[in-house]
Amino acid sequence: MNEDDLVESFKLPVSFTPDGRLLEIGPMSPNSSNHREKSYWIREKILAHPPADNVFLYRSSHGELRVVKQIRRQDEIQNYQRELQMMKRVLTEVEPNEKQLFVDLIGWFSSDDYIHFVLEYCPYGDISQHPTPMLEMDAWWICKQLIEGLSVLHRMGIIHRDIKPQNVLVDDINPTRVKIADFGISKLAHKDDERIATHPTTRIGTPGYMAPERLNLIQRAGSSHTSAIDIWSLGCLMYYILTDSIPFTQQGSITYDSYKALEDYCNGGRPFPEVPLARNGVSLSAQRFIQRLLAPLPHERPQASEQLMMDWEFPLSKDHESSITAEQPDMSQEHTTISTNTVESRERFNYSDIFANEDDIDTPSSDLWYLMKSEARGQLDRDRLRFLLSCDASPEIYIQGYTALHIAAEQGTAESVRELLRYCTNPNARTRPNQEAAIHLATVQADFTLFKEKALGFRV
């Protein structure tokens, strides 16, 4: 099925009635050749952020809720055909367990002047409608899901190009579940090199979240845009969530009138703005993580992958409770935004349950785990490795689903693998939850000679 046929297959039998309701004609009844069930949908309120007024919430006569986004047919910036093709490609080609990372497109219909997208309704609004700064554990959990979503998109050759608070919808708060929305300016790119690359066209995007290469602010940048622009936007989003401010803006102004601060940072004239992060109690691990996402040069930013979150040590607050709480919107009120009042009656999610199967961690074993992480960045201290092992540090303790041996096998040297294996009782232990053994992880670097050297250690 080509892309045009795919789009056409999701067209809905929906039209407007004279009184402004939506009329949906159902399939033919199996008991009658002439009867089709009819459903009426009534507009409840506007969901779009001012000054936009093109996203609405509709309720059916059966109580179902849907979001309808309308786009002018003549709108050349918002290419509705491209957005439809992109959304349906994502939702039809991804694995079943990955669909939850994206807002679902139910279908579309047309009227005289507009194309209308019918979308899944996320009852807790978007990230911008929740109080910031958030607890670090909430930011960590949101970031993990967004990285999973971006990893899927980039694997498919899709660059989102507009990651921002308004395009991250909150589907649940117990625990926090978020979904990536709005593929209106996404780009389908070819694969020239290790990264997805697309030639620059316009500066479409959101001020404050656009990567410097999209603004032509980097003196050493190439002429192509890659998936690294999404990583930059993610870094800006995490910075905002943790500080209630956007980096590189004039006094935190969201209008982002001047790009001078960003240009200075990208060309070495200004340091990374860590003060707001530190002032809000953000851990050093999170600060370093965000700084990596906001590396000035695109090729220096990490790629979206499951392993990336291992660089941000999972934080726990004193009571381990989420700071994201929100009442579902009151449907009796017109044109209201989602309330952010605390829900006292609802049981709150305990984030410590995420890693409930983690081992009790002693200091030497924790230090050993992070030492292996530093080796992945070419900074292994061999004397410290031997010292920690002599202090009974265990290479088999799990942190974030991996042991030190797993990390060394996946990203380290053959020397460190052999050293750790001397202290392992179960070299075949598997990662959690992906069930990968260290010998399998040793193939990740795609270096056969290095793999053979590591594999020799497992035969000892």
How many Cα atoms within 13 Å fall on the side-chain side of residue 199? Answer: 0
Task: For residues 142 and 104, state if they share a domain.
Answer: no
Q: Check residues 155 and 207 and name the one with the higher pLDDT.
A: 155
- Has 162 been annotated as catalytic? yes
**Does the model's pTM come out above 0.75?**
no
Task: For residues 439 and 376, state if they share a domain.
Answer: yes
Q: What's the domain range around 70?
A: 3-119
Which residue reads 């040069």 in tokens?
297
Question: How high is the pLDDT of residue 353?
Answer: 52
Which residues sit opposite 109 in a β-bridge?
116
> Cβ neighbours of residue 377 under 8 Å, at least 6 residues apart?
none
Q: Check residues 272 and 457 and name the one with the higher pLDDT.
A: 272
Over 70: is that where the pLDDT of 347 sits? no
Question: 13-17, 177-181, 182-186: lowest mean pLDDT where?
Answer: 182-186
* Tokens representing residue 235 in the block: 């870094």
Residue after which a domain boundary falls, among 60, 94, 119: 119
Structural domain includes residue 24: yes
Please report the DSSP string for 8-77 in residue order. HHTB--EEE-TTS-EEEEEEEPTT-SS-EEEEEEEEEEE-SPTT---EEEEEETTS-EEEEEEEETT-SS
Q: What is the CATH number of the domain that holds 21?
A: 3.30.200.20
Residue after which a domain boundary falls, among 84, 119, 154: 119
Over 70: is that where the pLDDT of 76 sits? no
Question: How high is the pLDDT of residue 48?
Answer: 77
Task: State CA 169 to chain mean position distance.
Answer: 11
> Per-residue confidence at 192, pLDDT binned at 50, 70, 90?
very low
Q: What is the mean pLDDT of the chain?
A: 79
Percent of the chain beyond pLDDT 90? 33
Task: For residues 164 and 59, state if they share a domain.
Answer: no
Phi-psi region of 400 (alpha: psi -120 to 50; beta: other; left: phi over 0): left
* Tokens representing residue 213 in the block: 């290469």
- Cβ–Cβ under 8 Å, residues 266 and 221: no
Task: For residues 370 and 285, state if they share a domain.
Answer: no
Annotated active-site residue in 53, 112, 113, 162 = 162
Highest mean pLDDT among 64-68, 202-206, 376-380: 64-68
- Segment 228-232 shows an average pLDDT of 96
Over 70: is that where the pLDDT of 427 sits? yes
CB atoms < 10 A from the CB of 11, how many?
12
- Cβ–Cβ under 8 Å, residues 63 and 119: no
Which residues sit opposite 118 in a β-bridge?
68, 107
> Cβ neighbours of residue 20 under 8 Å, at least 6 residues apart?
43
Task: For residues 372 and 444, state if they share a domain.
Answer: yes
Over 60: is that where the pLDDT of 188 sits? no
Structural domain includes residue 352: no
Task: Identify each DSSP E strand in 73-230 by its residue range.
Answer: 105-110, 114-119, 158-159, 168-173, 176-180, 187-188, 197-198, 225-226
Task: For residues 173 and 268, state if they share a domain.
Answer: yes
- Segment 363-387 shows an average pLDDT of 76
Question: How high is the pLDDT of residue 32?
Answer: 60
- Cβ–Cβ under 8 Å, residues 233 and 209: yes
Instruction: Write out pLDDT tens, residues 83-119.
Output: 777 888 888 888 888 999 999 989 899 998 888 999 9
Residue after which a domain boundary falls, among 96, 119, 142: 119
Over 60: is that where the pLDDT of 202 sits? no
Structural domain includes residue 157: yes
Question: 167-171, 328-332, 431-435: lowest mean pLDDT where?
Answer: 328-332
Task: For residues 71 and 136, state if they share a domain.
Answer: no
Task: For residues 262 and 305, state if they share a domain.
Answer: yes
Beta pairing, strands 14-16 & 22-28: antiparallel
- Segment 127-152 shows an average pLDDT of 94
Task: For residues 171 and 269, state if they share a domain.
Answer: yes
- Burial tier of 310 (Cβ tally within 10 Å: 0-12, 13-18, 19+): buried
How many Cα atoms within 13 Å fall on the side-chain side of residue 390? Answer: 6
Task: State CA 91 to chain mean position distance.
Answer: 16
Q: Check residues 36 and 63 and name the one with the higher pLDDT.
A: 63
- Name the nearest CA neighbour of 230 among 182, 181, 163: 163
Phi-psi region of 235 (alpha: psi -120 to 50; beta: other; left: phi over 0): alpha
Is the N-terminal amide bond of 276 cis, ω within 30° of 0?
no
Q: What is the CATH number of the domain that holds 149?
A: 1.10.510.10
Q: How many structural domains compose the chain?
A: 3
> Per-residue confidence at 147, pLDDT binned at 50, 70, 90?
very high
Please report the DSSP string for 210-274 in residue order. S-GGGGT--TT--S-EETHHHHHHHHHHHHHHHHSS-TTSGGG-TT----HHHHHHHTTSS----
Measured on CA atoms in the order 365, 371, 376, 381, is the torsion positive or negative?
negative
Q: What is the CATH number of the domain that holds 435?
A: 1.25.40.20
Structural domain includes residue 140: yes
